[in-house]
Structure 1
Amino acid sequence: MQARSERTLRCGRSVLAAIGFCAATMIAGASLAAPPADCGETPDGFSAWLNGFRRDAEIAGLPPAVIESALSGATYDPDIIAHDRRQGSFHEDFEKFAAKRVSAYRVRKGRQMLIAYAEPLEKIEHRFGVPGPVLVAIWGLETEFGAGLGTYPTFNALTTLAYDCRRSEQFRAELVDALKLVARGDMQPDEMRGAWAGEIGQTQFMPSTYLKYAIGADGGTVADLVSNPEDALASTANFLRGKGWKPGEGWHEGEPNFAALLEWNSAPVYAKTIAYFADRLAADQPQ
């Protein structure tokens, strides 16, 4: 699957005022909040903006080596801006939207994945209460079960969107969190590629979500959401449970767990498509 040109980000939040992993080097009260004018609509001011961000990040306590390794090659990508401006499919009616995404191939492949990952999915459901069909539906919709993780360099995507004025503060926060992932040792910058808006891994976590909800399928805190589907599925379940998923309850619109699906993607048509796909997958499961 190509990097998605349609995205409602699920984890926008205020820019952090401190960098948690590096408390010993923080300057108390330092903030990376972007002033309203600290953005641009054309590539002309990108280099100056990036230099300013790098200075702010170092003042706030991020290791200079991390900043250098992640941002030294970052470039403005107009293709990312084009993707950001055209997300009209989320306004399609449900039948049209779902028909494009819940294909016969995806249903067949999803059922194969339920069998292939039956044991870890059972453990994940026991731990988090999220059924396998829901997790596999998300996996299939996001990356075609890992076949299309995206090819956009994550730091190009995040710096471009943090510089752009439309959602500068939101993406500046995600850029900080991406640097924290590198500092924490989760990934190296050259390994970080994904969707146009900065999502990473088998089920497409934003950096802020990765930091908070990534978890190993074995119960450990070390997780690889890019090349380990079991970790990605466990982390997706951890996210949903953290957003209020209620074990044993329904997931359709009007049912208790639909709100958790909206936390995954705030577009109702997308959440309804997850629910529909999960139903198709669950239909063949032994009771």
Structure 2
Amino acid sequence: MRRLFFIVLLTIVPSFVQAQCGGSWSAFLGGIRTELRSAGLSTREIDGFLAGARQEPKVLRADRAQGVFQKSFLDFAAAVISQNRMVNGARNTKLYAATFDQIERTYGVPRGVLLAFWALETDYGAVQGNFNTRNALLTLAHDCRRPELFRPQVIAAAELYRRGDFDPQRTTGAWAGEIGQVQMLPDDIMRNGVDGDGDGHVRLKTSAPDALMSGAKMLRDLGWRPGEPWMQEISVPASLDWAKTGLETELSTKDWAAMGVKARQGTLARGMRGSVLLPMGRNGPAFLVYPNFRVLFEWNKSFVYVTTAAYFATRLEGAARMKPGTPDRGLSPAQIKLLQSKLTKLGYDVGKVDGILGAKTRPAVQAAQERLGLPADGWPTKTLLDRL
């Protein structure tokens, strides 16, 4: 489910991108052929990789229709963290205990984190997507919205084909080109693919050990710090300075404790720095998030998705259900879009005006709340919208 939120692994200057997307399909494929040849593929390999390649309109429809991340954190978490996924998480922990033990020794990534992404991405491998991966990547590379993200993935998929680990006719996955049980893009597989079951191949679709080991290596390479937490639920006093909450402020756990922040289970991690995260404002659930939490945004850029995955991982590691609180009524996607437009006109950077309360909109909301003398918890309400 990385979907729209990819890691940009290669930098391509805009003029190159403009020259390489759009236009006739045959001319576009001709350009791909030239690039594959420059990458070292033989004519036979190029022909094999591109045989039967076609545009997929349903890929573009899926790209334009993303709406899941307009849900609030509590709504999204309730929808995806089911009792069945908790039960299957416990079952898979036992089933792949040796793999998880090896992962924790080698990469320092806890099993709960991998189980959470495995569940949210593909329901533990059960739903991996039925889009032809080669065609999806070519379609999105031809489309001029984000060719700089997808064209390198086409080249990487061709290299996997040359290695014998990609079938352009039969390899399927998500609409945006992710493959396998933890949904990795071809270039991610090239960089971080691990043969976890020892069969000489990296098969993320059919081998859970390969998928889990590869996902762990990718997280470690993205900056995961072994032996450190990522999130814990907290209680916060009503007197807390709400302007200090949010990912933009990071303080020591000693400082947070002095302000009355307490762990709901256990104690705050000693000697570490973290941020107080209020995904639905001061009256909703509260978490202290540590540096490893920020690494998860390299897997997926959605605030709601990452916060849900991180919380789910704590549950899979034995944490109690969160205390949802009674959040103030939020805004509809249309209202958030209006709010973003108003904030933009006032000079705040909200990123894209898309009706999603994302990583840029939240601090903009918080800054506006503080300026207007409202509780600056980053959660937009009708009161803020009216005051603006």
Q: Aligned Cα RMSD in Å?
A: 2.3
Equivalent residue, structure 2, for 1:279: 314
Residue range with higher mean Cα deviation, 66-75 or 85-94: 85-94
Match of 2:20 among 28, 34, 38: 38
Equivalent residue, structure 1, for 2:165: 186
Equivalent residue, structure 2, for 1:150: 129
Determine if contact 1:124/1:234 at 8 Å carries over to the other structure.
Answer: yes
TM-fit CA distance, 1:55: 2.8
Q: Secondary structure at the match of 1:62?
A: coil
Equivalent residue, structure 1, for 2:77: 98
Determine if contact 1:15/1:173 at 8 Å carries over to the other structure.
Answer: no
Q: Distance in 2 between matches of 1:59 and 1:130?
A: 37
Equivalent residue, structure 2, for 1:52: 31
Q: Secondary structure at the match of 1:274?
A: helix
| Aligned residue identity for 1:263 | E
Residue range with higher mean Cα deviation, 248-257 or 225-234: 248-257
Determine if contact 1:11/1:208 at 8 Å carries over to the other structure.
Answer: no
| Aligned residue identity for 1:7 | R
Q: Secondary structure at the match of 1:98?
A: helix
Match of 2:206 among 220, 224, 227: 227
| Deviation digits for residues 6-52 of structure 1 (CA, Å, limit 9, x no counterpart) | 72333323268xxxxxxxxxxxxxx9x84414323xxx722331123
| Aligned residue identity for 1:38 | Q
- With normalisation by structure 2, the TM-score equals 0.63
| Deviation digits for residues 137-182 of structure 1 (CA, Å, limit 9, x no counterpart) | 1111111111111111111100100000000122111101111111
Equivalent residue, structure 2, for 1:22: none
> When the two structures are aligned, how many residues end up with a matched partner?
263
| Deviation digits for residues 98-157 of structure 1 (CA, Å, limit 9, x no counterpart) | 111111111111111111111211121111111111111111111111111111111110
Determine if contact 2:197/2:207 at 8 Å carries over to the other structure.
Answer: no
TM-fit CA distance, 1:187: 2.5
The unaligned stretches of length 5 or more in structure 2 are 232-276, 278-288, 320-388
Match of 2:222 among 220, 243, 248: 243
Q: Distance in 1 between matches of 2:151 and 2:11?
A: 7
Equivalent residue, structure 1, for 2:6: 10
Determine if contact 2:134/2:168 at 8 Å carries over to the other structure.
Answer: yes
Distance 1:117 1:35, change over 3 A: closer
Q: Secondary structure at the match of 2:20?
A: coil
Residue range with higher mean Cα deviation, 53-62 or 160-169: 53-62
For 1:128-277, list aligned pairs within 5 A: 128-217=107-196, 222-252=201-231, 254-277=289-312
Determine if contact 2:17/2:147 at 8 Å carries over to the other structure.
Answer: no
| Aligned residue identity for 2:7 | C
Equivalent residue, structure 2, for 1:113: 92
Q: Distance in 2 between matches of 1:218 and 1:78?
A: 37
How many percent identity over aligned positions? 42
Greater helix share, 1 or 2? 1
Q: Distance in 1 between matches of 2:188 and 2:198?
A: 18
Residue range with higher mean Cα deviation, 180-189 or 108-117: 180-189
Larger relative contact order (Cα-Cα within 8 Å, sequence gap ≥ 6): 1
Q: Distance in 1 between matches of 2:201 and 2:225?
A: 26
Distance 1:221 1:258, change over 3 A: farther
Match of 1:84 among 63, 71, 75: 63
Q: Distance in 2 between matches of 1:34 and 1:193?
A: 29
TM-fit CA distance, 1:216: 1.9
Q: Secondary structure at the match of 1:189?
A: coil
The unaligned stretches of length 5 or more in structure 1 are 17-30
Higher-Rg member (1/2): 2
Q: Distance in 2 between matches of 1:59 and 1:243?
A: 29
TM-fit CA distance, 1:247: 1.4
- With normalisation by structure 1, the TM-score equals 0.84
Determine if contact 2:129/2:172 at 8 Å carries over to the other structure.
Answer: yes
Q: Distance in 2 between matches of 1:218 and 1:127?
A: 15
